[in-house]
Amino acid sequence: MNILDKIIAQKRIEVAERKAKTSIAELQQQPLYARATLSLKQFLLDDTKTGIIAEFKRQSPSKGVINGTADVAEVTSAYTNNGASCLSVLTDEQFFGGSTNDLIKARVNSIPILRKDFIVDEYQIEEAKAMGADVILLIAACLTTDEVKRLAAYAKKLSLEVLLELHDEEELQHICDETEIVGINNRNLKTFEVDIERSLRMAKQIPDTKIKVAESGISSVENIQLFKANGFRGFLIGENFMKAENPGKAFAAFVQQLKEKA
């Protein structure tokens, strides 16, 4: 069983436990559920913005603890104030050290927020809406094509957008009408190796009507320039900033470099 299989098995247990504890009707009564969502698509198509989806991530199965002391409100506010197009907040607790509260605290910012988690059930989409998210992540590697279609349609019904994450060519068939934003993870979820060239090859097979997002393994302004030249509009970066003592400052410096080389 690889790490992704372990995460998904644990996620199904967690979802069953949370369903038993809090009903969908109760989630729908939570204060943030009724807020008007922000459009990631709109933010990514805005040429005045950086296109960076800046991630708050404390740890990962491959790297262990990346930053155990960072304050989520402080870091995400710095990301927002320095030009992020979107925030990505990990809500998986066991493997990534995140929580629902992290996303709720990040909601002080008025840019789109992606709930970064392993979605396998409609219940988690209701949770995302209740915690103030604007976008959910659907990972093709752990869902069938029918599940992607069904979950994406459910999200759309709640005015949430979907980032569909792909890892290899076989997963291109998961792209459907309901998934307008398609991410390519440069990191193989099974081996954790980074291969940017493979992502660029895959991008050529994604319809031009979709908004392309590069995910993981982005560590330089040159990486972003290369992805932009290949039709990408979004760039999800987490570890590169989170491993710094002050992630917000690291993000500001990166954006400054990006402006200088534009």
- pLDDT, tens digit, 9 for 90 and up, residues 128-143: 999 999 999 999 999 9
As annotated, the active-site residues are 55, 57, 116, 165, 185, 215-216
Cβ atoms of 235 and 227 closer than 8 Å: yes
Assigned token pair, 165: 């994450």
The domain tally of the chain equals 1
121 contacts 90 by C-beta, under 8 angstroms: no
pTM for the model stands at: 0.96
- Is residue 19 very low, low, confident or very high in pLDDT (cuts 50, 70, 90)? very high
Strand partners, 183: 165, 213
Read off the pLDDT band of 38 (50, 70, 90).
very high
Confidence of residue 120 (pLDDT cuts 50, 70, 90): very high
Mean predicted confidence (pLDDT) in 37-63: 95
What long-range pairs does 14-17 form, CB within 8 A, spacing at least 24? 14/94, 15/120, 15/121, 15/123, 15/124
Percent of the chain whose predicted confidence (pLDDT) is above 70: 98
Confidence of residue 187 (pLDDT cuts 50, 70, 90): confident
What rounded mean pLDDT belongs to the chain?
95
216: left (phi over 0), alpha (psi -120 to 50) or beta: left
Whether the predicted pLDDT of 189 surpasses 70: no
147-to-58, 127, 152 alpha-carbon distances in Å = 29, 18, 8
Q: 190 pLDDT exceeds 80?
A: no
Q: How sure is the predictor about 1, in pLDDT bands with cuts at 50, 70 and 90?
A: confident
**Mean local confidence (pLDDT), 220-247:** 95
b/e map 175-199, b = 16+ CB within 10 Å: bbebbbbbbbbbbebeeeeeebebb
pLDDT at 62: 82
Mean of the pLDDT values across residues 206-221? 94
Residue percentage of the chain with pLDDT more than 90 = 89
Distance CA 123, CA 127 (A): 6
Q: What is the CATH number of the domain that holds 130?
A: 3.20.20.70
- Which range marks the domain in which residue 67 is found? 3-260
pLDDT in tens, 137-165: 999 999 999 999 999 999 999 999 999 99
Estimate the crossing angle of helix 122-130 against helix 145-157, to 10 degrees.
30
Are 43 and 85 contacting, i.e. CB atoms less than 8 angstroms apart?
Answer: yes
